[in-house]
Structure 1
Amino acid sequence: MTTPAPITLADLARIAAFAELPTATLQWLADHGERRTFAPNEVVLQPGDEAEFMVALLRGSLQFYLMRNGNREPAFRIEAGQISGVLPYSRLRIIQAQGVAVGETETFLLHRNLFPELEQVSPELVQHLVGLMSDRARQEARIQERDDKLRALGKLSAGLAHELNNPAAAIMRATENLATLLQAKPALLLEFVRHCPSPEVLQALAGLATGPVAAVPPTQSALARADAEDELADWLETQGIPDGYQLAGGLLDAGLTLSQLEPVVADLPEPARPAALNWLEGQLTTRRLVLDVQEAGSRITTLVANVKTYSHMDRGSNFAPLDVHDGLESTLNIMSYCLREEKISVVRDYAPTLPPVRGQVSSLNQVWTNLLDNAIDALPPGGEITVRTRQEGDFVRVFIIDNGPGIPPEVLPRIMEPFYTTKPAGEGTGLGLDIALRIVEQHGGRLEVQSVPGRTEFGVWLPVIGRN
C-alpha cells in the first residue's frame, strides 16, 4: 500500500452515487474520507475482519471470493465508480468475503462511525445508499438461495448415489444368482422326471415349491438355527445328497421344515430324490431372489419419488394444498445419508392427522432443509433430532428440536438477522435462517426459536387452509 494522495472533488464525482451531489456534500466527504491505493493482487479485505468502512472504487477493480472448505470461490466483482462495504443502517459487522485488487486499485473509505453525521449533511445521499444496500441484500439473498440449492443438490446427489448403490448392487447380485439357478433348472428337471414319479408325488412337490415364501428368513436364535440346519443337512445326506449343507440353508430360509419335507420325499423314487430336492431348493431360492429384486426396485422407486417430491418437479410454482408430513418425510429421506454419516438419530413425533396447508413444496422443503442442516451442524456425533408436528387452533406447527449445546443467550436475539452467523468466516453467510424466515412469512406463518443447553427448538407456524 502506497502513501495516499488527498481526495479531490473530481475523484468523488467519478463515483456514480456521488455524481450529482452538491459541492458542499462532496467537500464533506473529501474532508472525512481517505484514499487508499493497492497493488495488483493485494488483499484489501479479509474474512473475519471487522466491517468498518464504506468502500467506493476510484480506480481499478475489487474481486471478492468466498472461502469454502479451504477453497477460494469467486463471488462478485465491483468496478471503478461502484460502492461496496458497509452502508448506512447495515447490520454487517464481520467481513465474509476476501477482496483482492485487480490491477492498480484506489479506494475511497468512509468510516461507519461517520454515518450519523452524513445523514445530517445529506439525507438524500443516505437514502440513496440505503437503496443500494437493499438492492445488494436482495442480490446476495438470491445468490445465497441459489448456492443453498446447489449445495443441497450436491448433498442430494452424493446421498442419492449412496442410497441407490445398495439396492442396485442387490439387484446385480440377485440377477447373477438367478442366471446360475435358471441355467441348472432344465438339467435337474430332466433328471427328476427321468425316474417317472407319479402325478400325485409331482403335485405334492409342486405344492412345496409354490407355497408362500418369506421375503425375510423365519426368525430364530442363532443356536436354534444351527440345530435346525444340522438336522436337515444330516437328513438330506441320507437322501443321496453328498453335502446337505448346500441345500439346508436355502430350504430353511424358504420356511420349510423337516416335518414338511419328509412325507413328500418318502413317496419319491429313491434315485429321483437328489434331483427333486435340488430342483425344489433352486425353485424356492429363485422366488426369494425375485422378492429381493422387487424389494430393491421398490426402494429405488421410493427414492425417485422422494426426489420428485423434494424438488417439486411435477408442479408449478403456485401455492397449492400440501401435506406437511409428505414434505418432512421426503426431506428426511433425502438427508438420511448425512444423518447416518454423523450418527444422528431422528425421532418422529407426528400428529396422527393434520389439515393441509397452502404453500409451495420446494420452498417449504428448503425451510426443512435449512433447519435440519443447522441442527446437524450443532450436534456432535450420536446426537438426536426430534421432528414434531401438531395442530394448534388454525395453525399447523412443525418443531425441529436438537439436543445439542444450545444457542448462547447473547446470540439468540440476533440468530435470524441477515448476514449474522456464528460460524467461522468463510463457512457461513448468515442468510440460511433469514431465507427460512422469509419463506415462512410468505406462507402467512412465523418462525420462532427457543434454546437452552441440551435443547434448541425451532418452531414453524403455518396457517391451515380455510383460516380467516
Structure 2
Amino acid sequence: MAQQLPSDPAALSSITAFQNLPADVLTWLSEHGELCRYADGETIVQAGEPASRMLAVVAGGMQYYRPDNGRNEPVFRVEAGRVTGVLPYSRLQISKGQGLAVGETILYLLPRTEFPALEQVSPELVQRLVGIMSDRARDEVRAQERDDKLRALGKLSAGLAHELNNPAAAIARAADTLGIMLKNKPVLLKNLLLACPPAEAVAALLSAGIPEAAAPLRSALARADCEDELADWLETQGCEDGYALAPSLLDAGHTAATLAPLVAPLPAPARPPALAWLEGHLAVVRLSRDIHEASQRISTLVGNVKAYSHMDRAGGREPLAVTAGLDSTLNIFDHALRQKNVQLTRAYAPDVPPVLAEAGQLNQVWTNLIDNAIDALPAAGGTLAVQTVKQPGGVCVSIIDNGSGISPEVLAHMFEPFYTTKPAGEGSGLGLDIARRIVQEHGGRLAAQSVPGRTEFSVWLPVAS
C-alpha cells in the first residue's frame, strides 16, 4: 500500500519540468501536493478510476498497461524525472489503463483541483506542462493511428487467410490428383493402341479431348439423373467402371448422344479403352483449368491487398478515383460481409471526377467507416450501400447501413478523440477522429446522420485541380 512521505521541496527539483523554478513555487507544490512511496509492482493507477491527479516520478518508474481483448498490454513506461497523469487543460476524465510501480517508486501527486491555483502561482510551469501534454497527445495519436492500422489489418487478416486458403487448398488437391492421372495416362494410351483403333477414330477422339464449352448448369437432381443415364450407356459399350467415367465426361459437356458417333467407327473391344483414355484426358484438362482458376483467384486477392495498401506506390498525393479505393477496401472486407450475409450495393455515379489524395490515407478512412458499419449491422438482413455523387467542386462518398442507428447523445460526441461506446480493449475511440482529421487534411469534411434503421456517414472531398 502507498506510503505517504513528508513534504520535501528539494526532492521536486529532480523533476525535469520543475527544474529552475523559483523556490517559492517548489514550496507551494510541496505544500499542495504529496509524496508517496510505492512498492515494486504496486498499482498506482487503476483502469476505470477517475483521472484526478498529476503524477511526477521522483524515483523508480511506472509501467503503463492498457486492456486489450482481456489482457493487459504494455503501452509506455515513465522514468524518473518525468511527468504523467492529468495535466492542465487535459480533457481526460477516466483512466484508460493501469499503472504499476517498477521497483520502489516515489511519486509526487498533485490533485487537478489545484490547477487553477497553480496558474496563478506559476504560469511558466503551467506552460511547460501544457507543452508536455501537447507532445504526449501528438505521440499518442500517432501511436493510435499505427494501432488502428494494425487492428484493421488484424481484423482483415483472418478473412484474407480464409480467402487465400480456399484456392491454395484447391490447387494442392488438383495437383495431387493431376499427378496420379498423369501416371495413369501411359497405361490408358497403351490399352487404346493395343486395340488397334482406326486412325480416323483416334483423330475424332483427340478433337473431343479439347472441350469447346463447359457443361450446362444443372440442379443436383438433374445432374444425378444425367450421370446415371451416361453411366448406363457406358456400360453398354463394355465399360465396367461406367459410374467412375461418367462425371468427368459429363463435366466436359458429353452425353451418350455426343459420344456415340465417336465410338461408332471403333470395334467393340476398342471402345472401353478409348472411352477410358478420353475420360482421363478430359480430367487432366479440367484439373489444369482448376489450377489456373485457383491461381488467378490468389493473384486477384494479392492485387486487392496491393491496391488497398498501395505498397507498390510511392507516398504523396496524386489524382485518384475514389471508386478504386472503395472497391479495394470492400474486396478486403469480402469475407466479413459474407459472414454476416450483408447485401452490398455499390451506386457509383458515372461522372465523378478524381480527387487529389494520398491513397493509403483515404483507404484508412474507408476502412474505419466500413468496419463500423459492418459492426452495426444485424446478424441477418443487413444492408450496406456505398454511393458516390458528383457535387459542385467536389465528390461526396456516402456509406449507409441499416443498423440500429446512433442515438443523438452519442452522435454529438462521435468525432471526439477517445470517445467510444465499445467495451474496454475493443475500441480506442480514435478511429472516427483519425478519419475526420485525414479528410480535413485533404480539404474535405466528414459528417454523420442517423435514425433507427439508417445511419449515413458522408465524406466530401474537393476535386483535383
Return 5+ residue gaps in structure 1 as ranges. none
State the partner residue of 2:445. Answer: 446
Tell me the alpha carbon deviations over residues 395-446 of structure 1, each in whole angstroms, 9 at most, x when there is no partner: 2222222322222322222221222222223333222222222222222212
State the partner residue of 2:436. Answer: 437
State the partner residue of 2:180. Answer: 180
**1:393 matches 2:392:** yes
Between 106-115 and 428-437, report the one with greater CA deviation: 106-115
Displacement after TM superposition at 1:298 (Å)? 0.3
Displacement after TM superposition at 1:6 (Å)? 4.3
Tell me the alpha carbon deviations over residues 335-389 of structure 1, each in whole angstroms, 9 at most, x when there is no partner: 3334444554533333345322222222222222222232333344334433222
State the partner residue of 1:365. Answer: 363
- Aligned residue for 2:438, secondary structure, equals helix
Aligned residues: 464
In structure 1, C-alpha distance between the alignment counterparts of 2:229 and 2:410, rounded to whole Å: 68
State the partner residue of 1:97. Answer: 97
Q: Is the 8 A contact 2:68 2:424 kept in 1?
A: no
Q: Is the 8 A contact 1:47 1:426 kept in 2?
A: no
In structure 1, C-alpha distance between the alignment counterparts of 2:428 and 2:161, rounded to whole Å: 28
State the partner residue of 1:62. Answer: 62
Q: Is the 8 A contact 2:3 2:38 kept in 1?
A: no
- Aligned residue for 2:456, secondary structure, equals strand
Distance 1:319 1:73, change over 3 A: same
Displacement after TM superposition at 1:244 (Å)? 1.6
State the partner residue of 2:329. Answer: 331
Displacement after TM superposition at 1:134 (Å)? 1.0
Report % sequence identity. 60
- Aligned residue for 1:103, secondary structure, equals coil
In structure 2, C-alpha distance between the alignment counterparts of 1:413 and 1:123, rounded to whole Å: 34
Q: Is the 8 A contact 1:65 1:75 kept in 2?
A: yes
State the partner residue of 1:402. Answer: 401
Report the residue type matching 1:61 in the other structure: G
Q: Is the 8 A contact 2:67 2:425 kept in 1?
A: yes
TM-score, normalised with respect to structure 2 = 0.93
Between 27-36 and 404-413, report the one with greater CA deviation: 27-36
Distance 1:317 1:427, change over 3 A: same
- Aligned residue for 2:89, secondary structure, equals coil
Displacement after TM superposition at 1:53 (Å)? 1.7
Q: Is the 8 A contact 2:211 2:253 kept in 1?
A: no
State the partner residue of 1:127. Answer: 127
Report the residue type matching 1:311 in the other structure: S
Return 5+ residue gaps in structure 2 as ranges. none
Between 83-92 and 224-233, report the one with greater CA deviation: 224-233
State the partner residue of 1:256. Answer: 254
Displacement after TM superposition at 1:240 (Å)? 0.4
Q: Is the 8 A contact 1:60 1:106 kept in 2?
A: yes
TM-score, normalised with respect to structure 1 = 0.92
In structure 2, C-alpha distance between the alignment counterparts of 1:379 and 1:6, rounded to whole Å: 57
Report the residue type matching 2:430 in the other structure: L
Displacement after TM superposition at 1:78 (Å)? 1.0
In structure 2, C-alpha distance between the alignment counterparts of 1:453 and 1:112, rounded to whole Å: 40
In structure 1, C-alpha distance between the alignment counterparts of 2:259 and 2:452, rounded to whole Å: 62
Of 225, 228, 232, which residue of structure 2 is paired with 1:234?
232
Match runs of 1:314-353 below 5 Å: 314-353=312-351
In structure 1, C-alpha distance between the alignment counterparts of 2:436 and 2:38, rounded to whole Å: 40
Between 56-65 and 30-39, report the one with greater CA deviation: 30-39
Report the residue type matching 2:107 in the other structure: T
In structure 2, C-alpha distance between the alignment counterparts of 1:86 and 1:401, rounded to whole Å: 38
- Aligned residue for 2:50, secondary structure, equals coil
Displacement after TM superposition at 1:156 (Å)? 4.3
Distance 1:343 1:104, change over 3 A: farther
Tell me the alpha carbon deviations over residues 435-461 of structure 1, each in whole angstroms, 9 at most, x when there is no partner: 222222222212112222322222222
In structure 1, C-alpha distance between the alignment counterparts of 2:374 and 2:414, rounded to whole Å: 16
Displacement after TM superposition at 1:62 (Å)? 1.0
Distance 1:108 1:411, change over 3 A: farther
In structure 2, C-alpha distance between the alignment counterparts of 1:195 and 1:102, rounded to whole Å: 87
Match runs of 1:166-245 below 5 Å: 166-214=166-214, 217-245=215-243
Between 264-273 and 143-152, report the one with greater CA deviation: 143-152
In structure 2, C-alpha distance between the alignment counterparts of 1:59 and 1:297, rounded to whole Å: 60
Of 267, 283, 286, which residue of structure 2 is paired with 1:269?
267
RMSD between aligned residues: 2.2
